Each structure stands twice: as structure tokens, then as C-alpha cells.
Amino acid sequence: MTGAGDHPGAIGATEAALAAHRALNGAAEDPYPERGVADLFEERAARRPDATALVHRGRPMTYAQLNERADALAAALGAAGVAPGDVVTVVLPRCPDLVVALLAVLKCGAVYLPVDTAWPDERLRTLLDTAASRLAVAREADAPALAARLPGRRVLPVESAPPPGAPAPAYRAGPDDLAYINFTSGSTGRPKGVPVRHRGIVRLVHRARYARLDTDTVLVQMAPVTFDAATFEIWGALLNGGTVVLYPSPFVRLRELRQVLADHGVTVLFLTTALFNTVVDEAPDTLAGLRTVLTGGEAHSLPHMAQALRHYGTDRIVSVYGPTECTTFATYHPVRELHPEEPSLPIGRPIQHTRAYLVEDGRLCEPGESGEVLLAGPGLSPGYLGLPDVNARQFADLEIGGVRERVYRTGDRALLSPRGHLVFQGRTDDQVKVNGFRIELGEIAHHLQTQPEVRRCYVTTRPTGQGGLELVGFVVPAAAGCDPAAVRERLRAVLPAYMVPAVIGVRAELPLTTTGKVDRAALLASLEERAAPDARAPRAAASQGPASGAAT
């Protein structure tokens, strides 16, 4: 056995634990291309220039056309002063211009930061300040209003043509350059910027274990581009010579989804857990023609999964798991059967070029033991923007079985199954997944507590009828006359809609358990006993990922 205290940063392990983790992580793999995303895309465009790269509202765009448009915008960005390593904010709806802009930014050796115009102004400015982004790309019609919201920043219309004689960007991004930044919720009230390298994207989609990705692949791009599932949906197709079908509406409607899948011969689809459950409940035939259905973002409902197995068979559903810090997916589990001895659906084994370790008390877990999931491999982010203390807690260099690894501490707990895969067992903190979007309850509580009429608050989740979760807040007022609807409205001014609790209840006190903790069960039970004055959000249509305000 290797002792945890042999030297700093060493993880103890018995021979049985080492053997179990070697089996979990699999054998050595073929290398992935050590190249940037734009280079790999251009190679695909050169091989099959007339193949369909994008489809939007029935209109196709070939690889050659996409490459030509991205080249033009890249030259315009370069003429506007964008240099390698600069962060360019992308403010575009789901349309061909969005993919053109992402590709153009990468062709400049720059970094794209996707944002949503529905986010409050204060949040947008905070994100752009954190990322040091001084230029945004938007539609020409939206540019004046966006410039007014983002003072001191230039807004370049996506339709811009380069000045005559403007050269194409000369810098070619490599695998260790940054490709994009996603922001996740932060417990202190400050969102955390997660930069991702080109190699993280390439490792995600090259010779994937979890789905067949090749020139015949047709993927629907349905997640908001601010949600890391979009990374898989876009580059999973384009870096393999396949086709991206851009979902035509902002929100998912099951009848429309079924039509899109059938009309375009979609082969692979990612659905958040909540939307997957909705489809299984309400319109299971929607997914009938798909080769692979990937689903994840929250813990799965076993009854829904059992129903899906009966309807779709055993070789089409794959559960995927992964934090933004590991570039979208980290593990996968083909769902072929449910085992009664496992209380939840396994999150499975690592995808290609990814390693997972289960650690408890400074040692590797053996089969049957549970611990925290640590992830390693080229998908890891270099660390949060401007948060050295958080980076020191979440990322570490450890020696595991005689090998030095840089790992990300996920905060997720799992069991190492005797069958050799990981079974999710919850969180070590108050982080939750709602509609696939990762949320720190502490960030919501921070903003609730700053409201002048709130003396104390508590934020939690409760199950929805579709096997998902919704956010619920409770406040103890500082004075009489606290209006929960007004509190919700002020939260909407500082938080994205997906982080505003669906219900805010006003209570005279927060009940406590015998151990002195807030009695969550009693508070949730009280919601069933009361109607107004609790403020409730209107029910929204089904959505994919964090657009419901994602998760990812």
C-alpha cells in the first residue's frame, strides 16, 4: 500500500484500489490531434467542401460557405484590433451567424465568451470585466442597444466585411491556447469564469466512446451557447465532418422537436435530464429514429429510465456526466439494464482521454466504497479567472499510484460499484443542477440576503412532476409588508432567470431541526399547506438546458 503521508500530495492506495481504478480508467488510447479547433475545421472543409455543415430553418450551408464567411469575419475582427488571446464576447441567437462568429474568433487565435442578452446589465458587465473583454459581436440591428448596455466596449456587427486588403489572421491557435470561456454560478455571489483550451474540445469529440461521431453524424444544436453542452453539439459535428442542425425556436416544443429530428435524419441528440423525462412522459415516439440519445445534467429518475428502456431498447440511451471544468462530458454510461442494488443510475466510466479517481480521507477507494470524484486529463480547465484561492481548493497536483496528475475536485460523491463503474451519490456542498445548469444555492442566498426587507433566508430545491428540480426560497422579513413578488422581481435584476426561485415563501421564522439546522422538510411541507402570499413564477414551456431561465 502507498501511504497518503509518504510525501505531500500523495494519495494512498491499496493494490486492490489501484487495480480497480486501472480497470475504471481503461487502457492506453490512441492520441488525439495536437491542433487547434480552427485548423481541424479547415481540414474538414478542404476534404468535403460541398458537404452540409449547417442547416437552419431548412436552409443548408456547406463547409466551404461556412469557412468563407468565418474567414471574412475573422479578417474584420483582426482589422478591429482583435489579437491572439483577446476575449471576444458573442451575443447572437441560435442561427448560422452564431457558428460563423465562434469559428471566426477561433481563427483569430482569440477566445469566445458567449452571453445571453436576457441576463441583467450588471451581470453582463461583471462577466465582461472578469474576462477583460472589450469587443462584442452582435447582429447589426442589435448593436446600438447592446453598446448602450455595455459602455466602453465596441460592438462589431457580425455582418461586417473586412476593409479592402485586410489580411487574414496569421496566428494559428494551438492545443494549449484558450478557445472559450463559460461562466458558472459562484457561492460568494460572484460568477466563476471557466476557460477551456482547444485540446479540451478536441479530446471531447475525437474518436468518442459515448457516441458515434463521423461524417454521417447529424447533431441538433439545441442548448443555449452559454451552456457547455453546446460545445459538444457544435464541434462534435463540425470537427468530424458531420452536420449541425440549428434548432429553429428559442424554446423546445415536443411536436417541433419531433419534426426537426425526422426532417433532417438526426442521428445523435443531447437532452437534459428534465427534458428527457418530459419526452418519455409525454411523447416518447419523438426519439424513435435516433441512433443515440445522450442525457444528463441532473440525477436520473429510475422510473423514467425504466420506461425509456422498454420503449427504446438497450443500445440507444447513454447517460453522460461532467462539470464545465472538464469540458462538457467526463464519464458516460450506456443504459442497458437497471440493477436493483444500485440506488441511482451509474455515471459510468471516463470518456476517452479522461481519468476519474474516487478518493476518501486521502486514499483511493476500493470497490464498494464511496468518496469524492476527482477528474484528470486534457479536458481540465487551466483554472477559474482571477480566483487563485478557489483554484487552490479545486485544482491540485497529486501523486496517484506513482503517477503525477493534475486533478479537479468535483465536489460530487460517488460509489465505486463492484461492477467497475461510478454511481452518483450526491454533493459535498450546496451546489445543485436545475435544468442541466449548475447553480450554487449560496449565490442565490447571497442576493436574497442583500434585500432590505429580508432578515434571514434559505434556498433549496424541490422535485417537479417531471423528475427534475425547481428552486425554492424562503425569507424571514425584517419588517411587516414584505412582498415576495417584489423580492423575486429584484432578484431578476441581478440574476439570470434560471437562478430566480420559482417560489418565494414568507415565513415568520425558519424552523430548525433538533441538531440546529434549518428544517428543509418542514419548510417544503409548509408550501403544500399555503397558497398566496407566496410568490410563484408562471410555468414555462419545456426547454433544453439553462435557457429556461442553462447546467452544464
Query: Which residues are CB-neighbours of 489 under 8 A, at least 6 positions away?
Result: none
Q: What is the pLDDT of residue 452?
A: 83
Query: Does residue 313 register a pLDDT over 60?
Result: yes
* HEC readout, 282-302: HCHHHHCCCCEEEEECCCCCH
Q: Which band of pLDDT confidence, cut at 50, 70 and 90, is reported for residue 530?
A: low
Residue that wins the pLDDT comparison between 362 and 516: 362
Q: What is the pLDDT of residue 482?
A: 86
Query: Does residue 513 register a pLDDT over 70?
Result: no
> What are the pLDDT digits (tens) for 417-476?
888 899 987 777 667 778 777 787 877 887 887 788 887 888 898 988 766 789 999 998
Query: Does residue 125 register a pLDDT over 70?
Result: yes
Q: What CATH number is given to the structural domain containing 456?
A: 3.30.300.30
Residue that wins the pLDDT comparison between 341 and 112: 112
| SS3 call for 523 | helix
Residue 80 maps to a domain: yes
Q: Which band of pLDDT confidence, cut at 50, 70 and 90, is reported for residue 187?
A: low
Q: What is the pLDDT of residue 549?
A: 26
Strands of 454-463's sheet, edge to edge?
454-463, 469-477, 503-506, 535-536
The last residue of a domain, from among 266, 288, 305:
266
Q: Which band of pLDDT confidence, cut at 50, 70 and 90, is reported for residue 2?
A: very low
Q: What is the mean pLDDT of residues 90-112?
A: 98
Length of the chain: 552
CA–CA gap between residue 118 and residue 74 (Å, rounded): 26
Of 195, 298, 380, the residue nearest 551 (C-alpha) = 298
Question: Is residue 469 within 8 Å of 298, Cβ to Cβ?
Answer: yes
Q: What is the pLDDT of residue 7?
A: 47
Q: What CATH number is given to the structural domain containing 73?
A: 3.40.50.12780
Q: Which band of pLDDT confidence, cut at 50, 70 and 90, is reported for residue 293?
A: very high
Q: What is the pLDDT of residue 434?
A: 83
Q: What is the pLDDT of residue 547?
A: 30
> What are the pLDDT digits (tens) for 32-66?
999 999 999 999 999 999 999 999 999 999 999 99
Q: What is the pLDDT of residue 245?
A: 98
Helix boundaries (H) for 313-431: 388-394
Residue 77 maps to a domain: yes
Query: Does residue 529 register a pLDDT over 90?
Result: no
Average predicted confidence (pLDDT) for the chain: 89
Query: Does residue 204 register a pLDDT over 70?
Result: yes
Q: Which of 39-48, 137-146, 280-289 has the lowest mean pLDDT?
A: 280-289
Residue 380 maps to a domain: no
What is the total count of domains within the chain? 2
CA–CA gap between residue 272 and residue 49 (Å, rounded): 33
Q: Which band of pLDDT confidence, cut at 50, 70 and 90, is reported for residue 199?
A: very high
Query: Does residue 515 register a pLDDT over 60?
Result: no
Query: Does residue 162 register a pLDDT over 70?
Result: yes
Per DSSP, the residues of 98-159 read HHHHHHHHHHTT-EEEE--TTS-HHHHHHHHHHHT--EEEE-GGGHHHHHHHSTT-EEEETT
Query: Which residues are CB-neighbours of 141 under 8 A, at least 6 positions away?
Result: none
Query: Does residue 539 register a pLDDT over 70?
Result: no
Q: Global pTM? A: 0.82
Residue 531's domain spans which residues? 432-548
